Amino acid sequence: MSNVKKFLLTMIIGLVALILEFGFQQNRLAYWLVAIVGGVMTITMLMGMVKTLRSGKYGVDILAITAIIATLLVGEYWASLMVLIMLTGGDSLEDYAGHQASRELRALLDHSPQIAHRIDQETIKDLEVDAVQVGDLILVKPGELVPVDGRVIAGESLVDESSLTGESRPIEKKLNDEIMSGSVNGDGALRLKVIKAAKDSQYQTLVKLVKESEAKPAHFVRLADRYAVPFTAIAYVIGGVAWFVSKDPVRFAEVLVVASPCPLILAAPVALVAGMSRSSRNGIVVKTGTTIEKLARAKSIAFDKTGTLTEGKLSVEEIQVIASHYSEDELIKYAASGEQESSHILARSLVSYAKKQQLSLYPVTNLEEITGQGIEAQVNGKNVRVGKAAFAGSANELRTKQTAVYVAIDHHYIGSITFADIVRKESAETIKELNTLGIQKTIMLTGDHASIANTIAKEVGISEVHGECLPEEKIQVLNELKEVDRPAIMVGDGVNDAPALAVADVGIAMGAHGSSAASESADAVILKDDLSRVSTAVHLSQDTMRIAQQSVLIGIVICVILMLIASTGVIPALLGAALQEVIDTISILSALRARKDR
């Protein structure tokens, strides 16, 4: 039975008991109704508590269960009912605060390759991707997802692997090169020989990694549980001493009723719900209350590069002109004019740059795209080639791991244009703010080249870099973090980040333009395309937990004072249960402060 159903059942039983006692004067029947239902529910709680203790954890339920049993045994069943209502109500509220969003990665599965074009004696037959076998020949058309891992046997194309590896630039694939499933083919058709079945291919491996990561959650002690042991011990000592001195077991029950740990059960969940609401108003969806607790105590944070620390778009970084009779602006105009009808990422970036520079583009005729080489067109009456070094007539290709295109006009090599990923303007300030908030270690985990990763890491202030990482390697880095560096946060946006987001203590997805699979596997999602929301999430979580801790301590202090008074016998059990309502109200009002922006 769910906690919500238990709470509703308790409320109904309480209402029926009230009618029996005060409507029909059937107080004994009311007692047995409360005692039977309370006893059954207490037994189920005891079974759950035993499982909790066996797992090495310790919760606050044992004190409330003891209070219910003690009050029933001495005949104070109304006090028992009130404690039961508070206990089940608190558990229901905690379920609401900590309800984990679905982690089945439906989006990842829904967007996985479904159809493959198998080549049978030069005829093409469409079939489900699971039916493709190792050794089959398949065709991947321009713009399609690669359905299974394969090796190129014919054709050349630029392939986008950014969602799998994190590398922002397209990768050239030619004869004998291997291609991963989930990659997006560019402008050229490719024929592949299948080297892995669908279930063993890279895309499905990502799904498996995420599910395995979710099945092994890290151990974490919640705020309420950290106070449970000392608070329970204090209550038992005071109650035991009162019973020993007075020789009256009712005294023990009266102390435990006052000691019922409702501030622990209610104050922390209320503060967490309030903090989650506050985060939502700031563009951050936090899926669980436990996520807020972990964010508040985080000691390290890892970032993906492309689309997270950078904007995931290419910008013109350097323009080299070797022909003295052409300026940089003219080189850009001719190159961008030739590329303006292409949908390729480099073409879009080049045209976008020209427009930002307010350069008017020339009309284009006789445009031809040469697969794997570039484009050739008539621009402003001149023959223009934009593409690879050899295609443009350059004898020397630039020695850079960044993406570059080469330009020839009227069959003479004119110059080159180099592209780089754009670093978010807020990245450096976000890292600085996280350090101020107590994050001791900052890490970059990226599939991009180590040289590029190190350059960007130095620019934004990240101390540790792991380049050219596959999803499995990102998981390995996170798993090898020392205990002193935990809880650990992972921030990413792509399909390739989903396993790392799931295995981290807290996964944060950049959800504005990122992969829906990443958002599904993350514990928190940034709804706005703003990296600074990551430091905001940590700050809000720390503030929420400070208020939660204050609220819990306020309730505990008041409880201890009332326990000492109850030990003298001046507070009857029913009055003690009523006083608990006052303590609960004070704790809840204090916890609700977490909802307000200050």
Active-site annotation, residues:
304
- What is the full DSSP assignment across 18-41? HIIIIIS--HHHHHHHHHHHHHHH
Cα–Cα dist 240/255, whole Å:
9
Q: Identify the helix (H) or strand (E) that includes residue 375.
A: strand 374-379
Tokens read off for 359:
């350069």
* Inter-residue long-range contacts of 374-383, CB under 8 Å, 24+ positions, other chains counted: 374/405, 375/338, 375/339, 375/342, 375/347, 376/338, 377/337, 377/338, 379/334, 379/337, 379/338, 380/334, 380/337, 382/334, 382/409, 382/410, 383/409, 383/410, 383/411
Residues 286, 289, 291, 294: is their CA dihedral positive or negative?
A: positive
Contacts of 160 (CB under 8 A, 6+ apart): 170, 171, 183, 184, 185, 186, 345
- Decide: 182 and 202 in contact? Cβ < 8 Å: yes
What's the half-sphere exposure (Cβ side, CA atoms, 13 Å) at 119?
Answer: 16
At 590, is the secondary structure helix, strand, or coil?
helix
| Contact status, residue 321 vs residue 413, Cβ threshold 8 Å | no
Q: Tokens standing for 204? A: 């499905």
Cβ atoms of 554 and 586 within 8 Å: the answer is yes
CA–centroid distance for 275 within its chain: 17
* Cβ atoms 426, 533 nearer than 8 A: no
Asked if residue 335 lies in contact with residue 476, where contact means CB atoms within 8 angstroms, the answer is no
* Cα gap 558→560, rounded to integer Å: 6
With a CB cutoff of 8 Å and minimum separation 6, the contacts of 23 are: none
User: 103 and 288 in contact (C-beta within 8 Å)?
Assistant: no
- By three-state DSSP, how is residue 151 classified? strand
Provide the CA 436 distance to its chain's centre, in angstroms: 22
Q: How far apart are the first and last CA of the chain?
A: 40
Q: Which residues pair with 492 in a beta bridge?
A: 509
d(CA 435, CA 526): 20
